Amino acid sequence: METLEIQPKEKTVEVGASVSYVCQYSKKGFDSRITWKKKGGILPAGRHSATGGRLTITDIKNKDKGTYECSIATSAGVTTAEALLVIYCKF
């Protein structure tokens, strides 16, 4: 059975930092079919790059906290994996 996995599963960063997640499908050659979204929201306009299995978000804002999903649709159906982004502020 094919699997989909995000690394890291949870990331804590400060406001202004950047973060990257890598989503890997166990079957080779499918990275270009991976899509990304923010659960209950949208990906940050102008501050994200989603290429194949990699999602990068720059200039992190408090509103970016939450769960991000990668998914892939194959003949077997849609498979989804989740990762959590936690934000903290330095004082």
Tens digit of pLDDT for each residue in 48-70? 999 889 999 999 999 999 999 99
Beta carbons within 8 Å of 45's beta carbon, 6+ residues apart: none
What confidence category does residue 25 fall into, taking pLDDT thresholds of 50, 70 and 90? confident
CA distances from 56 to 23, 40, 63 (A): 11, 18, 16
Residue 27 pLDDT > 90 = no
Helix, strand, coil shares of the chain, percent, nearest 5, are 5, 55, 40
| pLDDT score at 1 | 67
Mean pLDDT of 2-14: 93
What confidence category does residue 31 fall into, taking pLDDT thresholds of 50, 70 and 90? low
